[in-house]
Amino acid sequence: MKKLFLFASAIVLSTTMFAQQAAQKKAEDVVKFKELSYDFGKIKQGVPVTHDFAFTNISDAPVIIESATPSCGCTTPVKPEGAIPKGKDNKITAGFNAAAVGPFNKSITVKVAGIDLPLQLKITGEVLAADASKTTSKVGGR
């Protein structure tokens, strides 16, 4: 009888856990971004760049972008303030300070108020040296 009780308890517990996971709302359920990633391509060192990630509120109620958190200090997102009415468009502007030379892959985590799972926006590209032609070498001479 104990084995039957333990088996039944295990089934009830696992069913409850799966139901909770399925019930979690995702940010993608209420806001639809035109794109989730953007490639800046090759950009010059020391020249900040920006890109607007446009989105639409696809829910039946106003939504609030609670936070837009960058993966590092070189990325500066600007989120809309206040509620976005249902069916309306808005944007999150991703700024990137191209200080270090080389490829980059950064993310911005977007949290929507009242939604369990955030979404990620990604920016990529390659920072080229500001002026590679300034490096000269002396040949011979005194």
Global confidence as pTM: 0.75
| 3 state DSSP class of 37 | strand
Residue 37 pLDDT exceeds 90: yes
Are 77 and 108 spatial neighbours (Cβ–Cβ below 8 Å)? yes
Rounded mean pLDDT of the chain? 84
Residue among 51, 47, 48, 77 at smallest CA distance from 65: 77
Per-residue pLDDT at 131 = 74
Residue among 89, 82, 83, 26 at smallest CA distance from 55: 89
Per-residue pLDDT at 21 = 47
Confidence of residue 8 (pLDDT cuts 50, 70, 90): low
Strand partners, 107: 122
Confidence of residue 142 (pLDDT cuts 50, 70, 90): very low
In angstroms, the CA 70 to CA 62 distance is 24
Are 110 and 119 spatial neighbours (Cβ–Cβ below 8 Å)? yes
* pLDDT (tens digit per residue) in 54-81: 999 999 999 999 999 999 999 999 999 9
Residue 42 pLDDT exceeds 50: yes
